[in-house]
């Protein structure tokens, strides 16, 4: 029986390494390391990651090569994020990277070089029912990454294998240790991918001419100066440098709004500040994995951030690719530029980009 030819994206991390191991005996596989950022950047661990990926490939006895997507990443992910930051929004580069690089550039390259399938170390599942592909949650709910994959379409999913969909992270690390992978205990990557280990504000300062402006309380008091609106996001608490105020409650300050026209950062006290709580939102740039809006006749839930628990909601199609989403409970810090992702049980239906919060707080 002829084995399916698979190219697996190997990042040097433990997840993609174990995914390669799980496919090795049942598929003809080769590894591919994607260089998406300038490897000469002192904060970018690309060279070490590639060495880790090579060690795993050598241990498994599979070929591995590297491909450079730096230009594509800069144009399709990084520049897009810069444009969104400049508008005062908070984009999600991981979602963009999956859409534009891993499941477009990488997929196209692999297929054009003879691969029948591609694989990654994402925690997710794909199911084919009568020619319709669905993206389903991973068995390990703590690691499920369907939130980051909601922009995938039917064609992309038809080529995808996610070997980690049915196993837990602890088991992944155990397998890596048993196989003698050097990265068995390697920490998971966190934060914004292209920033690496360096601080967010100094990194972005390389690409923006910062425009400091006033920090104003929700009561109209001037509390200080911000460094540039692009450095802040709704619900942010740290880095505001607001001291204690006479006759004020001893509650922490949070970013509750951005006034782009007047270059003003607006803050309020308390995690449950009314301006951080809204019953609905407007979103656009809608993407449905099935290729069209599903018939929503069952309970629908959504997430407005990755680590959030599922939130019951109703969706109203406003036309022109815009939706209104009404939640059963008020949502905290609905953030323009972030993604809202919709679920029906275990199935990820798709999602959209948040434009604004709506409704009385």
Distance between CA 107 and CA 29 in Å, rounded? 14
Q: Is 105 marked active-site? A: no
The pLDDT, as a whole number, for residue 204 is 74
pLDDT tops 80 at residue 236: yes
Distance between CA 98 and CA 77 in Å, rounded? 10
Distance between CA 175 and CA 190 in Å, rounded? 22
The pLDDT, as a whole number, for residue 361 is 62
pLDDT tops 60 at residue 195: no
Could you report the per-residue pLDDT of 52-76, keeping only the tens digit for each?
A: 999 999 999 999 999 999 999 999 9
pLDDT tops 90 at residue 190: no
The pLDDT, as a whole number, for residue 205 is 75
Tell me the residue length of the chain: 361
Joined together, the tokens standing for residue 146 give 């369907």
Evaluated on CA atoms 137, 126, 112, 49, the torsion sign reads positive
- Indicate the range of 8-12, 188-192, 357-361 predicted with least confidence: 188-192
The pLDDT, as a whole number, for residue 188 is 82
Under the banding of pLDDT at 50, 70 and 90, the label for residue 48 is confident
pLDDT tops 60 at residue 41: no
Pairing state between β 253-259 and 264-269: antiparallel
Could you report the per-residue pLDDT of 133-155, keeping only the tens digit for each?
A: 999 999 999 999 999 999 999 99
User: Which residues make beta-bridge pairs with 135?
Assistant: 126, 348
The pLDDT, as a whole number, for residue 360 is 73
- Indicate the range of 83-92, 161-170, 238-247 predicted with least confidence: 238-247
Confirm if 283 and 354 have CB atoms less than 8 A apart.
yes
Under the banding of pLDDT at 50, 70 and 90, the label for residue 210 is confident
Sorted by where each starts, the structural domains of the chain and their CATH numbers stand as 5-178 (3.40.50.620), 211-271 (2.30.30.280), 276-358 (2.40.30.10)
Q: What spatial distance separates the first Cα and last Cα of the chain, rounded to whole Å? A: 62
The pLDDT, as a whole number, for residue 295 is 79
Q: Which long-range contacts (CB under 8 A, 24 or more apart) does 312-318 make?
A: 315/342, 317/293, 318/282
Which percentage of the chain shows pLDDT scores above 70? 92
Could you report the per-residue pLDDT of 254-267, keeping only the tens digit for each?
A: 999 999 999 999 99
The residue from 81, 97, 283, 348 that is catalytic is 97
pLDDT tops 80 at residue 233: yes
Evaluated on CA atoms 35, 37, 40, 43, the torsion sign reads negative
Joined together, the tokens standing for residue 287 give 């993407």
Could you report the per-residue pLDDT of 87-138, keeping only the tens digit for each?
A: 999 999 999 999 999 999 999 999 999 999 999 999 999 999 889 999 999 9
Residue 184 dihedral angles phi and psi, to the nearest 5°: -55, -35
- Indicate the range of 104-113, 189-198, 232-241, 262-271 predicted with least confidence: 189-198
Confirm if 254 and 202 have CB atoms less than 8 A apart.
no
Q: Is 97 marked active-site? A: yes
The residue from 44, 81, 105, 193 that is catalytic is 193
Could you report the per-residue pLDDT of 296-349, keeping only the tens digit for each?
A: 766 799 999 999 999 999 999 999 889 999 999 999 999 999 999 999 999 999
């Amino acid at each position: 029986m002829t084995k399916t030819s698979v190219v697996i994206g190997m990042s040097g991390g433990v997840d993609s390494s174990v995914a390669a191991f799980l496919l090795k005996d049942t598929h003809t596989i080769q590894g591919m390391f994607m260089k998406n950022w300038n490897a000469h950047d002192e904060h970018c661990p690309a060279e070490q990651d590639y060495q880790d990926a090579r060690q795993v490939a050598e241990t498994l006895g599979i070929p591995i090569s590297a491909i450079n997507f730096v230009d594509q990443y800069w144009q399709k992910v990084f520049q897009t994020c810069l444009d969104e930051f400049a508008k005062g929004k908070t984009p999600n580069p991981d979602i963009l990277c999956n859409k534009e690089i891993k499941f477009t550039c990488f997929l196209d390259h692999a297929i054009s070089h003879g691969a029948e399938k591609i694989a990654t170390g994402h925690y997710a599942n794909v199911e084919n029912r009568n020619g319709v592909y669905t993206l389903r949650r991973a068995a390990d709910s703590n690691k499920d990454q369907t939130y980051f994959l909601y922009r995938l379409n039917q064609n992309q999913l038809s080529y995808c294998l996610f070997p980690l969909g049915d196993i837990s992270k602890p088991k992944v690390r155990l397998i890596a240790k048993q196989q003698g992978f050097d990265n068995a205990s390697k920490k998971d990557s966190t934060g914004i991918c292209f920033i690496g280990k360096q601080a967010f504000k100094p990194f972005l300062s390389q690409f923006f001419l910062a425009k400091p402006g006033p920090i104003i309380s929700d009561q109209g008091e001037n509390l200080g100066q911000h460094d540039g609106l692009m450095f802040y996001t709704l619900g942010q608490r740290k880095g505001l440098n607001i001291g204690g105020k006479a006759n004020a409650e001893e509650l922490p300050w949070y970013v509750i709004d951005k006034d782009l026209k007047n270059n003003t950062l607006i803050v309020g006290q308390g995690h449950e500040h009314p301006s951080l709580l809204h019953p609905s939102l407007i979103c656009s740039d809608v993407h449905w994995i099935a290729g069209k809006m599903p018939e929503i006749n069952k309970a629908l839930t959504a997430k407005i951030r990755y680590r959030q628990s599922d939130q019951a909601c109703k969706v109203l199609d406003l036309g022109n690719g815009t939706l209104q989403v009404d939640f059963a409970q008020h949502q905290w810090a609905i953030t323009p530029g972030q993604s809202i992702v919709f679920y029906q049980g275990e199935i990820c239906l798709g999602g959209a980009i948040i434009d604004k919060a709506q409704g009385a707080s």
